[in-house]
Amino acid sequence: MKRTLAAGDVLFSEGDAAGSAYLVESGSLAVVADDEGSEVLLSELGAGAILGEMAVIDAAPRTATVRAITDAVLIEIDRGQLAERIERSDPVVRSLLEGLLKRYRGAMSAMRGQVAEAEDGFDHGGGMGKIRLESQLREALANNGLDLRLQPLLEIARDELGGYEALVRWNHPERGPVSPAEFIALAEETSLIVPVGEYVLDHACRALKALHAGGRSPFIAINVSARQLAEQGLIDRIVARTTESGLPHAALKVEITESLSLDYGMVAEVIAECHGHGIKVAMDDFGTGYSGMEHLHRLEFDTVKIDQAYARNMHASKRAMAILQHMVGMVHDLGADVVVEGIEEAAQLEVLQELGVRYAQGYLIGKPQPLSDWLV
């Protein structure tokens, strides 16, 4: 919406409630503030300038008056247009913006001899909490504050542990163990996911060496997110690390956790690369979220891990049981192995046995435990 002002017109006054922001199309405007009865010119704005956006961002009253110096044409920017974008932006950026505004307003008050409001306690966007957590995670990485747990997979027909899934834990100094569901997502927002992945790979290889030295040859499956897949050279690093450790490449498996951003071409390439080195690839959490039929259809996974929701509900819901049976049949027809996650009861394991499922994973088989617990 266009607004036209004649020279001398006031657009808004100091103390007014926050309304719209404006883009200057033509003309010039003065931003002035009242200093004990006399007017101070803060700035002059011409075509292309934005004004009134501060009050829109933090919903505080206008801290200055804007008056047209010459005739001027403005485009009114609706509050919602900016608010929506700010709402959608990264919470860290939002908090930084909030902090900067607070400081700017403080400086303006100080200029007028008023005592500025204390600067702590902002951060409505929660971004600073996130930044703090991220710094602590960086520190944990440097100081061995992460921990790798191994959860066993039972090879049902042989009644033996076939391998383990590597599940990372963060022992937070104040909060105790933080779930990977929380900090992996945080690490993925920046390149921090790279050293986290390195940590997991490194410790998985060490664990494999120790387990293989005991005479057994189980596999370890590591979780790789879509963001990690996008990093160049991931598979090369897996191959290099297993070779260095004197392990067969097939001792490591890769579990791909889905996300909307999954790029088929890239995943197909990663799978082909893994297959070239004898590394098997599993699709994680099948039956929920983003892991759908389209992925099964287009990508050559060796293993499909059926989400724990099906094990949990198989006895309470005929529908869950029917879907589970058909998923297992379908995955077998594709020539892939099945893992059913979340097995907590013997009756659930019996069902898997009847269906010819290869692997069971869950608290009944074993919880995620440190390597030392699996070496005895």
Closer residue to ligand C2E in complex, CB, 109/259: 259
Q: 282-308 burial, b for 16+ CB within 10 Å, e for fewer?
A: bbbbbbeeebeeebbeebebbbbbbbb
Phi, psi of 162 (to 5 degrees): -85, -30
Q: Are 66 and 19 in contact (CB under 8 A)?
A: no
Task: State the minimum distance, in angstroms, from the CB of residue 373 to Ca ion.
Answer: 19
The angle at the Cα of 200, spanning 197 to 203, to the nearest 5 degrees, equals 145
Q: Which stretch binds Ca ion (CB under 5 A): 128-136, 174-182, 219-227, 273-281?
A: 219-227
- Which of 98, 123, 255, 337: binder of Ca ion (CB under 5 A)? 255
Query: What is the nearest approach in angstroms of Ca ion to the Cβ of residue 223?
Result: 5
Provide the minimum distance between the beta carbon of 246 and ligand C2E in the complex, in angstroms, as a whole number: 23
Please, which residues bridge with residue 316 across strands? Answer: none
DSSP-derived letter for residue 231 is S
Q: Which does 337 bind (CB under 5 to 8 A by kind): ligand C2E, Ca ion, none?
A: none
Binding mask 314-353 for Ca ion (x = CB under 5 A): ---------------------------x------------
Binding of residue 228 to Ca ion (CB under 5 A)? no
Query: Strand 65-68 to strand 10-12: parallel, antiparallel, or no bridges (unpaired)?
Result: antiparallel
Nearer residue to ligand C2E within complex by CB, 84 or 198? 198
Q: In what order do the strands lie in the sheet with 65-68?
A: 10-12, 65-68, 29-35, 38-45
Using the minimum distance from each CB to ligand C2E, give the nearer residue, 101 or 320: 320
Nearer CB in complex with Ca ion: 98/341: 341
Beta carbon of residue 280, minimum distance to ligand C2E (angstroms, whole number): 16
Nearer to Ca ion by Cβ, of 56 and 296: the residue is 296
**Alpha carbons 169 and 252: distance in angstroms, whole number:** 19
CB within 8 Å of 133: residues ≥ 6 apart: 183, 186
Pick what 242 binds: ligand C2E, Ca ion, none; C-beta below 5 to 8 Å, kind-dependent: none
C-beta separation of 239 from 278 below 8 A: no
Three-state DSSP class for 208?
helix
223 binds Ca ion (CB under 5 A): yes
To ligand C2E, the closest distance from the beta carbon of 336 in angstroms equals 17
Q: Which is nearer to ligand C2E, 55 or 201 (CB)?
A: 201
278 backbone φψ class: left, alpha, beta (φ>0; ψ -120 to 50): left
Compare residues 179 and 261 and give the one whose CB is closer to ligand C2E. Answer: 179
Cβ proximity to ligand C2E: between 264 and 363 the closer is: 363
- Distance between CA 55 and CA 104 in Å, rounded? 12
Any contact of residue 98 with Ca ion (CB under 5 A)? no
Distance CA 247, CA 208 (A): 8
Instruction: Decide which of ligand C2E, Ca ion, none touches 179; Cβ closer than 5 to 8 Å per partner kind.
Output: ligand C2E
Residues that bind ligand C2E (CB under 6 A): 151, 166-168, 179-181, 184, 200, 223-225, 228, 257, 284-285, 308, 342, 344, 361-363, 368
Give me the residues that bind Ca ion (CB under 5 A), please: 223, 255, 284-285, 341
